[in-house]
Amino acid sequence: MQAVENLIAAGAKGILITPNDSAAIVPAIERAREAGLLVIALDTPSPRPPRPMPPSPPTTSRPAS
């Protein structure tokens, strides 16, 4: 969990984790998400984000020529 705190402090944009104890990591994941990091947890369920994920940017298409 200290590694997650270090990444938050370092200004990381996101983290990819495979925690040994998925329940124990929940507070660190929540702090990371509150700090704006994208958190991807592999091989384990993770807590739901405290806020909805931002919408994808709109796609623009060019008219056929």
Taken in order of first residue, the domains within the chain and their CATH numbers are 2-41 (3.40.50.2300)
Whether pLDDT at 10 is above 90? yes
Counting beta carbons within 10 angstroms of the beta carbon of residue 28, is it exposed (0 to 12), middle (13 to 18) or buried (19 or more)? buried
DSSP 15: E
pLDDT at 55 over 80: no
Global pTM reads 0.61
- What pLDDT shows up at residue 18? 87
Which single residue is written with the structure tokens 């997650």?
4
Q: If pLDDT is split at 50, 70 and 90, which confidence band does 37 have?
A: very high
pLDDT band with cut points at 50, 70 and 90 for residue 20: confident
Secondary structure string (H, E, C) spanning the chain: CHHHHHHHHHCCCEEEECCCCCCCCHHHHHHHHHCCCEEEECCCCCCCCCCCCCCCCCCCCCCCC
Give the pLDDT confidence score for residue 13 in this predicted structure: 94
